[in-house]
């Protein structure tokens, strides 16, 4: 079993205790396993640090536990951008339980069309793509920055019909 799979298993186990009154379906859990979050994070910054941590094959193992933390992860923007209204765009990859709860509420089914505004890393878009199915080719995410959307090699292109708009 891979280290990522072990960490995913730990998260799924913890998720069951977070909200027992609102269980996550096997369909959404299956998407979580099929679309590894760590493939969508090429760098991140800890909230109290200014340095970026690059994620690559050589240091992936040491970063996995943080990449699967149940917190939003900063993937673009400086500390100043978070407090300065005139700052540059910022982005996070959303908190895991929130993402899975939202997907559960959507009740996506194979063949449905999905439009996501604010795609950022592409993680949520890929999860939705997994849920609506690769033959549907109906997922159309839209993002406003060329620096964010990242389609990892494990996400078949048939999941995504990309539409990008530059912020202007």
Q: pLDDT tens-digit profile of 100-118?
A: 999 999 999 988 888 777 7
What CATH number does the domain containing 42 carry?
3.40.50.150
Residue 79: what pLDDT?
Answer: 66
pLDDT of residue 164: 35
Which tokens is 52 given?
A: 């970026």
Domain range holding 11? 3-164
CB 114 within 8 Å of CB 108: yes
Look-up: residue for tokens 């839209």? Answer: 142
**pLDDT for position 120:** 74
At 112 the pLDDT is 85
- Per-residue confidence (pLDDT) for residue 146, from 0 to 100: 44
For 96, the 3-state DSSP assignment is helix
Q: What is the DSSP track for 99-160?
A: HHHHHHHHT--TT--EEEE--TTSHHHHHHHHHH-TTT--EEEEES-TTT----TTS-GGGB
Residue 89: the pLDDT is: 66
Domain total of the chain? 1
- Are the beta carbons of 86 and 79 closer than 8 angstroms? no
User: pLDDT per position in the chain (168 positions), as tens?
Assistant: 589 999 999 999 999 888 778 899 999 999 999 999 999 999 998 887 888 999 999 999 999 999 999 999 988 876 666 666 666 667 889 999 999 999 999 999 988 888 777 777 888 888 998 998 866 544 555 555 544 444 544 454 444 443 333 333
pLDDT at 113: 80
Could you tell me which of 2, 26, 9, 60 has the C-alpha nearest to residue 131?
A: 26
Catalytic residue at 94? yes
Exactly one of 94, 121, 158, 163 is catalytic; name it. 94
List CB contacts of 23: < 8 A, sequence separation 6 or more: 16
Element (DSSP H or E) covering residue 54: strand 53-54
Prediction pTM value? 0.78
């Amino acid at each position: 079993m891979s280290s990522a799979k072990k960490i995913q298993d730990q998260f799924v186990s913890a998720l069951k205790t977070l909200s027992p009154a609102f269980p996550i379906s096997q369909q959404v859990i299956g998407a979580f396993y099929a679309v590894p979050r760590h493939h969508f994070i090429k760098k991140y910054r800890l909230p109290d640090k200014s340095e970026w941590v690059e994620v690559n094959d050589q240091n992936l193992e040491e970063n996995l536990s943080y990449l699967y933390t149940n917190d939003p992860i900063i993937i673009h923007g400086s500390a100043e951008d978070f407090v300065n209204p005139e700052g540059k765009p910022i982005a996070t990859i959303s908190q895991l339980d929130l993402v899975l709860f939202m997907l559960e509420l959507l009740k996506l089914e194979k063949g449905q069309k999905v439009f996501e505004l604010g795609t950022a890393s592409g993680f949520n878009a890929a999860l939705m793509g997994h849920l609506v199915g690769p033959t549907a080719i109906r997922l159309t995410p839209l993002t406003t920055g060329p620096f964010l959307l990242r389609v990892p090699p494990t996400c078949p292109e048939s999941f995504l019909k990309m539409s990008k708009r530059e912020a202007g």
